[in-house]
């Protein structure tokens, strides 16, 4: 029988990784002829995550035949270059949109890692300690990209070992996909569906997630399994009120930026507010080189986005891209970023990184977090152990770039901008499958997973919570 082993994103949101071993023959033949890795994601959220990322792949890197990726967020694909560095040379399957994002995200990750390691090694050298090596570098990224094989949504692809792959639109970010794998197992074909990250139907720019109907086994994300998001209309109203209050108080608005998806959605809503005459700030900074490149990629791939939202944006701006958001300034260089910190009020600053554990947002925290007129707007999930999570949990102090800051800024968490499905959407997606497949809940913290498990049980769907390294037969 073919098997699946859970190697990540169990009991946590990040670190997605699942090993599928395809049996080598008919019933009773236990030899694995094909080893496929579904996802190769980074763990995110502090020292424990760093230790998990540094753990060697061991024989896995050299014995894998293929890798399948659902989308371009680092918690799903971020360790691909490390896998290649340690010996993997097989194909990496993804959608065309994901490949385009990998060219940006993996290179950016390697660049940031190199800078962090360089900084760390300075004091290690002075202290006589051994120097650190990065998990991967830009050469590993280039080798990884050369291995990518792209498959459009909806078009079946035959993989080695008799496995068939079909991608379905997940509606989460550009190129994101639900993964459907038809896998030989014990003389039969078993259908495995992995949700990837399911999109929020209310999100701007993305199409609604597709709903496959047939499966024998389903791996379903549970990031927001314990709650629904606030309706988008109410969220936009609250967002507008926050922006207006900041303007009245003479303060800046800081928005930690998730470079892929969330930044583009926030820019969309800022543009709509501007054309409604409701945006008083005249200076809006997108202070993230990666988010700038991703935003430009979204523009180039407009044909894959939701035509209704694009039509609304075109009508508002009279079809002229230059007029979508006239106050927007793209700050690519360090010097341009530093200049923003001379602005004491009246600006909206969208800066990386989304969970506030690095990037330019930390420099803006240093100059704004102790100012009562500042508003910090959290627009995405904050993993345990991150600075963003500490703020959401009510921290009154935050250590930033070696300095202990008192949190005097107003904090606002706007969950309605989430690019993930909420509990109601997850239950509806699960309920659309015929013949009740086996469900395993992944990509969720324990409280969210247990809540979703109970909610599914109430509608007649039984779901299991897998353990790390648990191995199941398909």
DSSP 92-139: EEE-HHHHHHHHHHHHHHHHHHHHHHHHHHHHHHHTTPPPP--S--HH
Closest by CA to 387, choosing from 427, 357, 426, 346, is: 357
Distance between CA atoms of 430 and 171, rounded to whole angstroms? 16
In the chain, where are the structural domains located? 3-227+419-473, 232-417
Question: What band does 32 get if pLDDT is binned at 50, 70 and 90?
Answer: low
Per CATH, the number for 232-417 is 3.40.50.10890
Q: CA neighbours within 13 Å on the CB side: how many for 300?
A: 11
- Please state whether the peptide bond connecting residue 353 to the residue before it is cis, i.e. omega within 30 degrees of 0: yes
Residue 315's contacts (CB-CB under 8 Å, 6 or more residues apart) are none
Which residue, chain included where needed, has tokens 């014990």?
186
* Chain mean pLDDT for the chain: 94
pLDDT digits (tens, 9 = 90+) for 385-406: 899 999 999 999 999 988 999 9
CATH superfamily of 3-227+419-473: Ribonuclease Z/Hydroxyacylglutathione hydrolase-like (3.60.15.10)
Same fold, 3-227+419-473 and 232-417: no
Q: How far apart are CA 225 and CA 456, in angstroms?
A: 10
Q: What is the pLDDT of residue 31?
A: 55
> Which whole-number Å values give the CA distances from 78 to 44, 83, 381, in the listed order?
10, 10, 18
Confidence of residue 381 (pLDDT cuts 50, 70, 90): confident
Mode of pairing for the β-strands spanning 471-473 and 3-8 = antiparallel
Residue 95 CA neighbour count, 13 Å, CB half: 26
Q: What is the mean pLDDT of residues 135-156?
A: 98
Residue 95: pLDDT above 90? yes
Tokens of 420: 């993930």
Per-residue pLDDT band at 383 (split at 50, 70, 90): confident
Please give the model's pTM, rounded to 2 decimal places.
Answer: 0.92
Q: What is the predicted pLDDT for the residue at 149?
A: 98
């Amino acid at each position: 029988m073919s098997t699946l082993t859970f190697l990540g994103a169990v009991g946590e949101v990040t670190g997605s990784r699942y090993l599928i071993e395809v049996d080598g023959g008919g019933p009773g033949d236990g030899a694995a002829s094909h080893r496929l890795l579904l996802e190769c994601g980074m763990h995110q959220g502090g020292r424990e995550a760093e230790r998990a990322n540094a753990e060697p792949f061991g024989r896995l890197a050299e014995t894998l035949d293929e890798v399948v990726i659902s989308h371009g967020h680092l918690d799903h694909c971020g360790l691909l270059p490390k896998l290649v560095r340690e010996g993997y040379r097989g194909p990496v399957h993804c959608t065309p949109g994901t490949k385009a994002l990998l060219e940006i995200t993996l290179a950016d990750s390697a660049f940031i890692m190199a800078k962090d390691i360089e900084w760390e090694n300075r004091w290690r050298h002075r202290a006589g300690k051994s120097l650190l090596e990065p998990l991967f570098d830009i050469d590993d990224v280039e080798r990884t990209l050369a291995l990518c094989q792209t498959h459009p949504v909806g078009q079946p692809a035959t993989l080695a070992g008799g496995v068939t792959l079909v991608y379905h639109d997940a509606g989460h970010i550009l190129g994101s996909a639900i993964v459907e794998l038809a896998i030989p197992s014990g003389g039969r074909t078993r259908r495995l569906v992995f949700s990837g990250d399911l999109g929020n139907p209310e999100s701007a720019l993305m199409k609604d997630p597709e709903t496959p109907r047939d499966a024998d086994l389903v791996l379903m994300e549970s990031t927001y399994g314990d709650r629904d998001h606030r309706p988008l209309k109410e969220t936009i109203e609250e967002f507008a009120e926050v922006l207006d209050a900041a303007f009245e108080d003479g303060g800046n608005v800081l928005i930690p930026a998730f470079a892929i998806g969330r930044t583009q959605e926030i820019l969309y809503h800022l543009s709509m507010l501007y054309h409604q005459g409701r945006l008083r700030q005249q200076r809006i900074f997108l202070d993230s080189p990666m988010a700038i490149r991703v935003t430009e990629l979204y523009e180039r791939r407009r044909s894959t986005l939701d035509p209704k939202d694009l039509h609304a944006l075109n009508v508002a701006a009279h079809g002229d891209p230059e007029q979508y958001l006239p106050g927007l300034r793209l700050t690519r260089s360090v010097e341009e970023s530093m200049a923003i910190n001379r602005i004491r009020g009246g600006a909206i600053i969208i800066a990386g990184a989304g969970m506030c554990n690095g990037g330019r947002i930390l420099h803006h925290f240093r100059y704004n977090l102790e100012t009562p007129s500042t508003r910090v707007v959290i627009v995405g999930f904050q993993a345990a152990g991150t600075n963003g999570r500490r703020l959401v949990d009510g921290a009154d102090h935050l250590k930033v770039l070696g300095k202990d800051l008192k949190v005097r800024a107003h904090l606002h968490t706007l969950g309605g901008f989430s690019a993930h499905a909420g509990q109601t959407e997850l239950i509806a997606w699960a309920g659309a499958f015929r013949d009740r497949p086996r469900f395993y809940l992944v990509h969720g913290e324990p409280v969210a997973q247990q809540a979703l498990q109970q909610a599914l049980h109430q509608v007649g769907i039984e779901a299991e919570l897998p353990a790390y390294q648990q191995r199941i037969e398909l």
